[in-house]
Amino acid sequence: MARMTRKDMLNTPDEFVTTTSSVLVWIREHPQQFIIGVVVLVGILAGGYGIYYWKTSRELDAMNAYMKAADNSQATLQVAQDYSDTKAGKLAKLRLARMSFDQGNQKMALSYADEFINKWGRKDVWHWQAVLIMASTYIQQKEPTKALPLLDGCIENAPKDLTDQALFLKANALIALGKDNEARQSLSAISENNRDIAKILIASLGTTPSAKLKVK
């Protein structure tokens, strides 16, 4: 195989120049196709930016409406309906669940909380707040057995403050089932921040020969 000399290399056609020339020739021969291609490309880019801008603007509008609604149930419901595809619209469902629970509307509290959980799609602090609302509602409905699995999941995975709330609720559910000893265990697992309240509740359960658990 002959070795390529510097002269041969210099005389070799530049690929970039060759390609560019070919493209220019094609454009001159097919101007209409080129213009259509450019228009389509620009349209795609502009459309993508437009969707991004619209989505960002819509999220901002939704959050402003959510904040403005505050504790107005009708305004919050409007946000949930008008901006159902946004984060604020989904959070409005969580707020409606809490409002329904506070108003004693257990059916709507469960419905809104369940809908929020299904649409939110991630297990963060808001997810676990909805879980606690559901568990609290089941306890109020005298269905503690439905609350316990929800509370166990919260205790295992939620942030500490919410874990303590779940432990309090679990103790409540266990007391309703006549399981005082297990309720004491739940209360004894509460963090130091809420330990004084837990001690008071444990004392309120009284003492039995089988209940020798100490709160540290």
Q: What is the pLDDT of residues 52-84, one digit of tens each?
A: 444 678 888 889 999 999 889 999 999 999 999
The amino acid occupying position 104 is: G
Q: What is the pLDDT of residue 10?
A: 45
pLDDT on residue 23: 53
What is the token pair recorded at 13? 């056609």
Q: How far apart are the C-alpha atoms of 45 and 55, rounded to whole Å? A: 15
**Greater model confidence, 19 or 134:** 134
Tokens of 69: 């609604």
Give the domain ranges of the chain: 60-121, 123-216
DSSP string for the chain: -PPPPHHHHHHSPPHHHHHHHHHHHHHHH-HHHHHHHHHHHHHHHHHHHHHHHHHHHHHHHHHHHHHHHTT-HHHHHHHHHHTTTSHHHHHHHHHHHHHHHHTT-HHHHHHHHHHHHHHH-S-SHHHHHHHHHHHHHHHHTT-HHHHHHHHHHHHHHS-HHHHHHHHHHHHHHHHHTT-HHHHHHHHHTS-GGGHHHHHHHHHHT---TT--PPP-
Mean pLDDT, residues 197-205: 83
pLDDT category, 134, cuts 50, 70, 90? very high
Kindly report which listed range (167-171, 172-176, 194-198) carries the lowest average pLDDT score. Answer: 194-198
Asked if residue 108 has pLDDT above 60, the reply is yes
178-207: average pLDDT: 85
What's residue 94's pLDDT?
93
CA 18 – CA 13 distance, rounded (Å): 7
Task: Give the residue-averaged pLDDT of 98-119.
Answer: 94
pLDDT of residue 37: 55
What's the pLDDT at 58? 84
Residue 100's pLDDT is 94
Which pLDDT does position 53 carry in this prediction? 46
Which pLDDT tens digit goes with each residue over 113-131? 999 999 998 899 999 999 9
User: Is residue 172 left, alpha or beta, with left meaning phi > 0 and alpha meaning psi from -120 to 50?
Assistant: alpha
Mean pLDDT of all residues belonging to the chain: 79
Q: For residues 58 and 135, which has the higher predicted lDDT (pLDDT)?
A: 135
Confidence of residue 26 (pLDDT cuts 50, 70, 90): low
State what percent of residues in the chain have pLDDT above 70. 69
| In the predicted structure, residue 160 carries a pLDDT above the cut 90 | no
